[in-house]
Structure 1
Amino acid sequence: MSEYNFALHTYPFSLIVSNRSNYLYDAVKQLYPATVLGPIAPDTVYDFDLKVERRWLGLRSDYYVGSASEHFRMTNKAHLPAIFEWAFNWSIASFQHHYLAFHAAVLQKGDVSIILPAEPGAGKSTLSALLMLQGWRLLSDETCLIDLQSADIVPCVRPVSLKNKSLDVIRQRYPAAAMALNIPDTIKGTVGYLLPTTISWHGYQQSCVATHIIFPRYDSDCYSTIFAPVSLGQGIMQLINNSFNYSVLGAEGFAALSQLCRTVTMLQLTYADTDEALSLLEKLS
């Protein structure tokens, strides 16, 4: 694995990383199992190509992270793992158009499959982490991928990115949870990762059909949990606002979105009581 180059096969995408940092490679090995991480195969077609290079800027030695043709960010060594994960998110959000993509988490338990679209800061990742630790299968914490033909949810299993107080919540509730890395002083504060559970990795290529679309929002000032229906029109508009590529896909995106929304139940979940929110989601059928 020359110069610490590596490939990451997180279905349905394959990522090639041209990397000169053993620090990054060692960190990525903590986040992903050996079954999806390995050397670059010369006869494999990869979806994304990230470059991690050390560049001298004045008196500082910083790292460049970007794709073959697009700059993503400059960073220091300590923040490389977080920047790598964000660059992977950026690659999916910006450059793939095989699937309709939303900024949303996806989890499944039994016959219930929920999509959790949310704006940053709404508590989506914390809620997803807690559901996964209660036995739900994680399909994605960051990006919901919708097949353009069937409208099925295509998984993209990766570590759950947690920040600041969310890290404390998970550690207090689940002291034995499989956490990796603790990266302070990033632009988003302290970042750490909750590793997907065994059932999540076992089903990392298993699609599912959505039964519920729930728009979560944690609000510490909420006196009474709101768990109420969302109209079809309002729900579609919220999904469009959370989509990375709806406008790019045009008619294909509209058809997939229409098919997705035809049979799901849409709900708004606004809460301050996390236990009550989890209980409501567990009762879905």
Structure 2
Amino acid sequence: MKVSEFSKHALFATLRCGELCIDMSPFVVRVRSDISELAEDIGRMYQDFPVLSPNSFADFHVEVSYERGIRRWVRPLARFYFDGRPSFIPLPVHQAFPMLEWGINWCVAAHSHSFLIVHAAVIERQGMAVVMPAPPGSGKSTLCAALINRGWRLLSDELALYDSKNKQLYGMARPVSLKNQSIPVIQAHTPAAEITLPVPDTTKGTVALLRPPSESVQQVKTPARPTWIVLPRYQADAEASLESLNKGKAFMLIAEQSFNYNVHGREGFEAVGDLVDSCECFEFTYSRLSDAERVFDDLLASQIKG
């Protein structure tokens, strides 16, 4: 059964009693909420995701619910809970869905040490993956959102999951986070894209979530071979420029952007080394998404010919 097969009433009822177990492979997340607007956003953004039996094992038990007491009624706030414990400060209730997304990211990054987890977008085509590690403001999520609507498969826009045993990349194919000016940019680039209403005044500015392509969700259990590491940088009015990146610098970048590099110790060092060694590494400056699409298509074509 998929999320889309629930009526609005049934989905909210399932959320209220904490029985919504969503298969976000490679993890299962059990979600509870008493916020009807959050149920609507989950219904739209996760419509293609499988729902498991309420008795299924879940890796993470999360909740986003109204703050108790008077704040339930006066300027209502929502709070995120992990395993029944409040985990972050409460936020205005209209930020409930972004809070859920941020909370799930935190759960995975802080607790899933079977993978080397890197703050990076990952997309795939013909079995070959591009890893785009970058700090906030680099334009990686905008670039990721554009490319997955032009034939690339989404693995993740935030968390690259690298399995050091089989040297493959995995992702959860969850909604893509768009911020500030990237929202109208993607709306203009892909008018048919399904995007939540923009949420203003968050700690990250105005945010919205883009529904992942159905094909990406359907293939979420299929890993990809790391082939390129691309450090993107948006620069207004710049011509598209793809330049080689020294592998030593790429190693340091991946290590710095990894959430659990230190947790893995020597194995983490070796995992980052293996990941970098398996990839061609580049720095990419762009301003126009059409140019970016051409550059990434050329990367793919050169790999196939080579």
TM-score by structure 2 length?
A: 0.86
Q: Secondary structure at the match of 2:223?
A: coil
Residue in structure 1 matched with residue 283 of structure 2 by the alignment: 268
Is 2:172 the counterpart of 1:153?
A: no
Higher helix share: 2
Residue in structure 2 matched with residue 27 of structure 1 by the alignment: 41
| Cα distance in 2 for residues equivalent to 1:104 and 1:158 | 13
Contact 1:29 1:37 in 2 (8 A): no
Is 2:145 the counterpart of 1:129?
A: yes
Contact 1:102 1:117 in 2 (8 A): yes
Deviations along 1:42-61, one digit per CA (max 9) or x if unpaired, are 2x221112122322366543
| Cα distance in 2 for residues equivalent to 1:116 and 1:163 | 17
Residue in structure 1 matched with residue 10 of structure 2 by the alignment: none
Amino acid at match of 1:212: W
Amino acid at match of 1:134: R
Change (3 A) 1:146 1:2: closer
Contact 1:97 1:245 in 2 (8 A): yes
Change (3 A) 1:70 1:266: farther
Contact 2:124 2:155 in 1 (8 A): yes
Q: Which among 138, 141, 163 is matched to residue 179 of structure 2?
A: 163
1:278, distance to aligned residue in structure 2 (A): 2.2
Report the number of matched residues. 282
Is 2:117 the counterpart of 1:104?
A: no
| Cα distance in 1 for residues equivalent to 2:41 and 2:134 | 28
Residue in structure 2 matched with residue 7 of structure 1 by the alignment: 21
Contact 2:127 2:225 in 1 (8 A): no
Q: Which piece of structure 1 moves more, 104-113 or 139-148?
A: 104-113
The residue correspondences of 1:1-285 to structure 2 (distance < 5 A) are 1=14, 3-5=16-18, 6-33=20-47, 35-37=49-51, 41-42=54-55, 44-54=56-66, 55-56=68-69, 60-68=75-83, 69=85, 71-220=87-236, 222=238, 224-284=239-299, 285=303
1:221, distance to aligned residue in structure 2 (A): 6.1
Amino acid at match of 1:279: R
| Cα distance in 2 for residues equivalent to 1:279 and 1:35 | 31
1:19, distance to aligned residue in structure 2 (A): 2.1
Q: Secondary structure at the match of 1:282?
A: helix
Identity %: 32
Change (3 A) 1:70 1:101: farther
Contact 2:146 2:289 in 1 (8 A): no
Higher strand share: 1
Contact 1:27 1:181 in 2 (8 A): no
Contact 1:15 1:49 in 2 (8 A): yes
Q: Secondary structure at the match of 1:179?
A: coil
Q: Please, which runs of 5 or more residues in structure 1 have no aligned partner? A: none
Contact 1:150 1:256 in 2 (8 A): no
| Cα distance in 2 for residues equivalent to 1:97 and 1:230 | 28
| Cα distance in 1 for residues equivalent to 2:48 and 2:245 | 42
1:103, distance to aligned residue in structure 2 (A): 0.7
Deviations along 1:142-183, one digit per CA (max 9) or x if unpaired, are 110001212200121101111221111111122122223332
1:64, distance to aligned residue in structure 2 (A): 1.6
CA RMSD of aligned residues (A): 1.9
Q: Please, which runs of 5 or more residues in structure 2 have no aligned partner? A: 1-13
Q: Secondary structure at the match of 1:116?
A: strand
